[in-house]
Structure 1
Amino acid sequence: MGEFNYLPIINSILYSFLGIAILVLCYWIIERLTPEKTWHEISKNNNMALAIIFGAFIIGISIIISAAIHG
């Protein structure tokens, strides 16, 4: 029986947290650059157009982060 290598699991967890941290940082930057509070507009005022834009933003940034991490 061979030994189990935990390194890929640890790397996956670390890269996942790194990706989430970068995504939150990007959201925070966009939140500061926009004139309105976007989360308030989406949740309280039910602004569907803004929700779609931010959904696309999150998917786009996630794809970029994934490509940067995986090379």
Structure 2
Amino acid sequence: MEQTLTNLGLSVLFAVLGLVLLFVGYRAIDMLTPGDMSHRIFEEGNVAAAILGAGFVVGLAMIIASAIS
């Protein structure tokens, strides 16, 4: 039982760490691209900005997942 709780705690810790790193990475790409990316995606409906953001998030998530595991 103790090992299960330890593994559960570590899983939650790594999940939170991955989400924090993903958020920081998204903010970094937002600062590197001209304009406010969230505004372009949600307010203006810019599909190209949404594809760029989605591709970046998926790629970064794959890197973080392989680094954590």
Common fold, TM-score beyond 0.5?
yes
Q: Which runs of 5+ in 2 are unaligned?
A: none
Letter in 2 for 1:51: A
State the AA in 2 paired with 1:69.
I
Cα distance, 1:53 vs. partner?
1.4
Q: Give the number of the structure whose residues are more often helix, by fraction.
A: 2
Moved runs in structure 1, 4+ residues, more than 3 A? Answer: none
Structure with the greater alpha carbon radius of gyration: 1
Structure 2 length as normaliser, TM-score? 0.92
**Paired position in structure 2 for 1:17:** 16
RMSD: 0.7
**Number of the residue aligned with 1:59:** 58
User: Which ranges in structure 1 are unaligned for 5 or more consecutive residues?
Assistant: none
TM-score by length of 1: 0.89
